[in-house]
Amino acid sequence: MDQFLQQVQQLLNNNGFIMLNENQKYPSICEYGGGWQEAIYLINTRKVFLTKLIEDKSTFISPKLYYAIRACQGLSKMKDNERYVYEFIQLNEPVDMKFIRLGLPIEVTELKKAMKTLQNKLMITAIGEAKSISNNWGVYLWGTSETWERESKGEYIFENPQEIIVEMLAEKISDNKLKAIIMGT
């Protein structure tokens, strides 16, 4: 696993992100011999923050990119379902999707939409493993970004966080999405 971790760490330092699953355009942990256990190791050690930032696919972003994006964000406005999901996770973290579905009276499609939006706003992330299903798949435990920040012990202070974001994401996401991230909207 040492070689895998070195390769992934180097890619995260240079690129800011790595895809969780195989992808035609971008590197993934699969290309480096990683599977579910390696993904969980990266999550448990807070070396990555899970989001759906790139192509709405599961994407691990580096702490440096995470903190650069957070530096550009103001307080995120939440729709009702997003607020219900966020508050439920905050009160019960770490929590798996089964428990979230049982605890909230929200339709599954609306719940998935709220989870995806909260991930893209960097408000929630995977913070552990609920269950391993196979070598390549399992169930996450979810938590808030505040928990991830406290446990990651990472501190990045940037003179120009926008520059970091552009350096790592330009030409990898749409110009509109890049502008929205930089403007904190």
Range of the domain at 134: 2-183
Give the pairing type, strands 17-19 and 57-61. antiparallel
Closest CA to 54 of 24, 31, 78, 76: 24
Per-residue model confidence (pLDDT) at position 1: 65
Residue 90 tokens, joined = 């905050």
Average pLDDT over residues 55-60: 92
Residue 71 tokens, joined = 């530096």
Residue 169 tokens, joined = 């994401």
Residue 73 tokens, joined = 């964000």
As for how many domains the chain has, the answer is 1
Closest CA to 50 of 37, 41, 62, 59: 59
CATH of the domain at 144: 1.10.10.10
Average pLDDT over residues 74-78: 79
Average pLDDT over residues 41-45: 94
Per-residue model confidence (pLDDT) at position 135: 78
Per-residue model confidence (pLDDT) at position 185: 62
pLDDT tens per residue, range 143-184: 999 999 999 977 787 889 999 999 999 988 888 988 888 887
Residue 137 has pLDDT above 90, yes or no: no
Q: Can you tell me the distance from the alpha carbon of 152 to that of 48, in angstroms, rounded to the nearest whole number?
A: 9
Average pLDDT over residues 52-63: 92
